[in-house]
């Protein structure tokens, strides 16, 4: 059998991974088919955990209602049924199974209404396509760029990661979109695959077998692991991860006023949060599920009791970005951003500790990079000529 021709860059990457050059067989699954299978596997996990199918109804949690709609769509599509029938160990695709029949009952909320409230397109074929979320293959490719080992002296680096996080929360540092093949040097900080990354050491330059200059790095991750990948390997990983970020150095100044003069009064902070909830839906969409808010005080103080507050989904949250505001109405900016991303708003109802219904209105299925782009367009006063497109998870020109 003839081997697939691969480029020098491919060989470089394979050599870094310690993988033979023979191409792996993927089984010919399209990205859509892979998402259908992944979606059905989530439903199966729900069934195994709860001992029943996911059900519709206002008394059900919003995530269970999403699984119920997804299962209906898979059952209605012969193509999807054929794709996952071999995985259906609980008889979810047939009308007869050991679970109570539930899909024939009338529901107080229609599928279209539920999908609309979730910010998901209502076309039947789209229920299995989780837009804005990277595929498992993409995530796996980023994770496998280099082998990671436990960092035995991580306690030396832990204070630095904690300091950087607090500086991000105070707006002393920011994150910027990583530019293709941008320079990497000792001490640089990045966000890669959702983790903070520190370039702790750089070896001597050398020329690879392919005639390219490179250097060996010691890279520390904030989860207590490390790797010794090459500069080019780190650059490839950052290029491949569309959510990768560079963490800036200190003292970049306030967002809207260039250099802050003494007479300027800070209007507070606009902040972006990410939920730490272990709920399957949140875990799957964590990288694009963000809360956008404004405070005139300290952001950390604002979120101190997040686990008791339905506004924060009754769970701890992580500060992923803050922007210091000067000479601008924070509330006006917040309303503008909420309106701009309204098509991707995650509507839900939760009960507070007193049993009262609460509707968190500040959570959106939008990548962090897109939120920052929208803020920049507000600064440039060009936001009026654009809109957010949920299909591509990007900002496009308004028609």
Note the pLDDT of residue 285.
87
| Residues forming beta bridges with residue 363, ordered by sequence position | 291
Among 141-150, 174-183, 229-238, 302-311, the minimum mean pLDDT is found in: 141-150
Considering only residues 249 and 253, tell me which one the structure prediction assigns the higher pLDDT.
249
If pLDDT is split at 50, 70 and 90, which confidence band does 353 have? low
Note the pLDDT of residue 350.
60
Name the CA dihedral angle for 270, 276, 279, 282, rounded to a multiple of 10 degrees: 40
The span from the CA of 3 to the CA of 22, in Å, is: 7
Mean pLDDT highest for which of 18-27, 123-132, 339-348?
339-348
* Cβ count within 10 A of residue 136: 13
CA distances from 289 to 131, 145, 156, 169, 367 (A): 12, 25, 32, 18, 7
Note the pLDDT of residue 324.
80
The span from the CA of 374 to the CA of 172, in Å, is: 20
For 39-59, letters b (16+ CB in 10 Å) and e give bbebbbebbeeeeebbbbeee
* Contact present, 277 and 313 (Cβ < 8 Å): yes
If pLDDT is split at 50, 70 and 90, which confidence band does 259 have? very low
Note the pLDDT of residue 147.
74
Among 7-21, 145-159, 351-365, the minimum mean pLDDT is found in: 7-21
CA distances from 326 to 264, 300, 371 (A): 7, 19, 19
Considering only residues 369 and 266, tell me which one the structure prediction assigns the higher pLDDT.
369
| DSSP annotation string for 157-189 | THHHHHHHHHHHHHTSS-EEEPPTT----TT-E
Among 50-64, 69-83, 147-161, 191-205, the minimum mean pLDDT is found in: 50-64
The span from the CA of 391 to the CA of 389, in Å, is: 6
pLDDT higher than threshold 90 for residue 272: yes
pLDDT higher than threshold 50 for residue 316: yes
Report percent pLDDT > 70 for the chain.
71
For 162-177, letters b (16+ CB in 10 Å) and e give eebbebbbebbbbbee
* Nearest CA-CA partner of 325 in 232, 254, 227: 254
Query: Which sequence spans correspond to the domains of the chain?
Result: 31-126, 137-247, 266-397
Considering only residues 191 and 296, tell me which one the structure prediction assigns the higher pLDDT.
191
104 by DSSP, 3-state: which?
Answer: coil
Q: Cα–chain-centroid distance for residue 382? A: 26
pLDDT higher than threshold 50 for residue 261: no
Note the pLDDT of residue 263.
39
Token output for 370:
């897109």
pLDDT higher than threshold 50 for residue 130: no
| Residues forming beta bridges with residue 270, ordered by sequence position | 294, 323
pTM of the model: 0.38
CA distances from 25 to 3, 28, 33, 147, 205 (A): 12, 8, 16, 22, 35
pLDDT higher than threshold 60 for residue 348: yes
Instruction: Mention every residue, 6+ apart, whose C-beta is less than 8 A from residue 268.
Output: 294, 295, 296, 297, 325, 330
* Contact present, 41 and 145 (Cβ < 8 Å): no
Note the pLDDT of residue 198.
93
Report percent pLDDT > 90 for the chain.
11
If pLDDT is split at 50, 70 and 90, which confidence band does 244 have? confident
Cα Rg for the chain, rounded, in angstroms?
Answer: 23
The span from the CA of 312 to the CA of 306, in Å, is: 5
Note the pLDDT of residue 27.
54
The size of the chain, in residues, is: 399
Mean pLDDT of the chain: 75
| Residues forming beta bridges with residue 245, ordered by sequence position | 177, 191
What's the rounded mean pLDDT across residues 66-81?
Answer: 86
* Nearest CA-CA partner of 325 in 256, 376, 264: 256
Note the pLDDT of residue 252.
39
If pLDDT is split at 50, 70 and 90, which confidence band does 291 have? very high
Note the pLDDT of residue 243.
83
């Amino acid at each position: 059998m003839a081997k697939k021709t691969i480029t020098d860059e491919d060989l470089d990457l394979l050599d870094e991974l310690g993988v033979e050059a023979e191409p792996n067989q993927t089984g010919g699954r399209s990205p859509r088919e892979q998402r259908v299978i992944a979606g059905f596997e989530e439903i199966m996990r729900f069934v195994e955990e709860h001992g029943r199918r996911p059900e519709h109804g206002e008394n059900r949690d919003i995530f269970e209602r999403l699984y119920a709609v997804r299962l209906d769509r898979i059952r209605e599509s012969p193509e999807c049924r054929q794709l996952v029938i071999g995985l259906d160990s609980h008889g979810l695709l047939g009308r007869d199974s050991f679970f109570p029949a539930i899909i024939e009952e009338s529901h107080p909320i229609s599928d279209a209404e539920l999908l609309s409230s979730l910010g998901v397109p209502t076309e039947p074929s789209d229920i299995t396509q989780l837009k804005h979320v990277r595929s498992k293959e993409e995530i796996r490719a980023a994770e496998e760029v280099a082998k990671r080992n436990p960092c035995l002296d991580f306690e030396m680096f832990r204070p630095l990661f904690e300091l950087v996080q607090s500086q991000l929360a105070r707006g002393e540092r920011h994150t910027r979109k990583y530019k293709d093949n941008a320079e990497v040097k000792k001490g640089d900080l990045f966000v890669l695959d959702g983790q903070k990354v520190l370039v702790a050491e750089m070896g001597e330059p050398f020329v690879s077998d392919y005639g390219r200059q490179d250097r060996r790095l010691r890279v520390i991750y904030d989860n207590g692991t490390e790797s010794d990948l090459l500069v080019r390997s780190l650059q490839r990983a950052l290029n491949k991860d569309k959510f990768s970020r560079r963490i800036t150095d200190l003292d970049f100044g306030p967002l809207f006023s260039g250099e802050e003069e003494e007479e300027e009064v800070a209007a507070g902070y606009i902040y972006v949060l990410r939920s730490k909830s272990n709920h399957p839906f949140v875990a799957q969409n964590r990288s694009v599920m963000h809360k956008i808010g404004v405070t005139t005080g300290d952001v950390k103080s604002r979120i101190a009791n997040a686990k008791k507050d339905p506004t924060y989904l009754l769970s701890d949250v992580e500060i992923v970005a803050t922007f210091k505001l000067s000479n601008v109405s924070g509330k006006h900016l917040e309303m503008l951003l909420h309106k701009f991303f309204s098509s991707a708003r995650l509507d839900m109802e939760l009960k507070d500790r007193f049993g009262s219904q609460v509707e968190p209105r500040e959570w959106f299925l939008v990548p962090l990079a897109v939120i920052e782009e929208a803020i920049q367009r507000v600064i440039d006063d060009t936001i009026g000529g654009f809109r957010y497109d949920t299909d591509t998870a990007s900002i496009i020109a308004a028609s």
